[in-house]
Structure 1
Amino acid sequence: MVATPALQFVGVVLALGCEQLVQWKLGAMGLVALFLLGVGVKARNSTCASLGAVILLLLMTKG
């Protein structure tokens, strides 16, 4: 199924908004964790995805 340009635009806006929110709340390490999680999911690498998820979890609970 091919996504319409409007749907792609909404997806990009949401992704950028999520990235800015993570950077604002969790700093640069949050962006690194989000990157690791995204790369791990895309590459189907459970180690990389798990590492990114654990870092995000630790950053969110440092509170």
Structure 2
Amino acid sequence: MANNENIIDSKTIANMLIVLALMLTAIYYLNNYEEIESEVSSAIVSSLVDVNNSLAEHEAPRK
């Protein structure tokens, strides 16, 4: 064992930070699932309503 490699190098620390961030994100997501789901649904529905209104305004002059 003449070659002692440094186990904790910068790449390992960076990987551990990424894993920690992913774990914290997963915990946050699990704790706030209902709120996140309602916000995403609200944004999607709002976007679809805007697209529908835009198409209706675009088609109205043709009639």
TM range (shorter): 0.3 to 0.5
Which is greater in Rg? 2
TM-score (norm 1): 0.39
Q: Compare relative contact order (CA 8 Å, sep 6+) and give the higher one, 1 or 2.
A: 1
TM-score (norm 2): 0.39
